[in-house]
Structure 1
Amino acid sequence: MSDWTWEYNPSEEHVAHGFPPGVVAEVERLAVELAALGPDAATVGRPIDRDGGLREFDILNGRGFISFLAVPRQQCVYVCNITWYG
């Protein structure tokens, strides 16, 4: 089990405001799973040709995606953006 955590960046209000509750719940569920991966979270999603940096991961069967950063130094996954096609 990982000691990593996750947070919205810059804030939950900025990133998740206005999205349906089910979308936010799915994003938070995925964030918990990404944090559980620890440093391996830097290899999840796109881009597939390199590790680290801003990553993207599909949500709800391709109906949107999240953008996140996995920061090993802070042992944290930061959810930076949600894109929802509805």
Structure 2
Amino acid sequence: MAVTTLSSREFNQDTNRAKKATRDGPVFITDRGKPAHVLLSIEEYRRLTHTGRTVADVFGMPPGVEDVEFDPPRTVIVSRPADLS
């Protein structure tokens, strides 16, 4: 995997070159000589961020807890006029 480094000026002047370079690996974009951004292909981004879990998995209950009883106490909400004096 090749790593390409471009200054912000180079990136602004030739974005097409940066996009093509992502085929070979990440593109580091520098500001004043220091890395500030990384440009990746969408395939590489998806590969790096893929966890194999769906939203349902993330918010679902862990296996084995479906038998846990949960009976929260009822709350009574009483409405009354506000005292604005």
User: With structure 2 as the length reference, what TM-score do the two structures score?
Assistant: 0.25
Which has the higher Rg, Structure 1 or Structure 2?
2
- Higher RCO (CA-CA < 8 Å; seq separation 6+): 1
Higher-strand-fraction structure: 1
Higher-helix-fraction structure: 1
